[in-house]
Amino acid sequence: MITTAWGRAELVEEASVLQTNEERAFTTHVQLLSNEEGEQLLRFAYSTDDLARRGPVTMRVSDVKKLAKGLERTPKLHALLKQLTVKKRSE
């Protein structure tokens, strides 16, 4: 279980990308969560030493492309993120 501002939630799907620079390695995570009431939550996080961290997530364009490939294996998360860019006709 994952603790969020809206209570505890279960991880449904996750896409992640290992990122490195000259000094360190870290992983960016995009997660689809479901809380105890069944509400879906979208979480962006990064981790070092397998521990999720709070704060802004910054990605290079090349890593965004890697994340897009990872989303091919997470259909629910992919569909949710697609809503960020697909404009519906009724809008």
Contact assessment for residue 30 and residue 19, using Cβ atoms and an 8 Å cutoff: no
Mean pLDDT of the chain: 86
Domain boundaries, the chain: 2-82
Per-residue model confidence (pLDDT) at position 14: 93
Distance between CA 68 and CA 59 in Å, rounded?
12
Q: pLDDT, tens digit, for every residue of 5-44? A: 888 999 999 999 999 888 888 998 999 999 999 999 999 8
Distance between CA 27 and CA 48 in Å, rounded?
7
Q: Which residues lie closer than 8 Å to 30 by C-beta, 6 or more apart?
A: 14, 15, 16, 42, 43, 44, 67, 71, 77, 81
Collapse the DSSP code of 5 into the 3-class scheme (helix H, G, I; strand E, B; otherwise coil) and give the result.
Answer: coil
Residue 90 has pLDDT above 70, yes or no: no
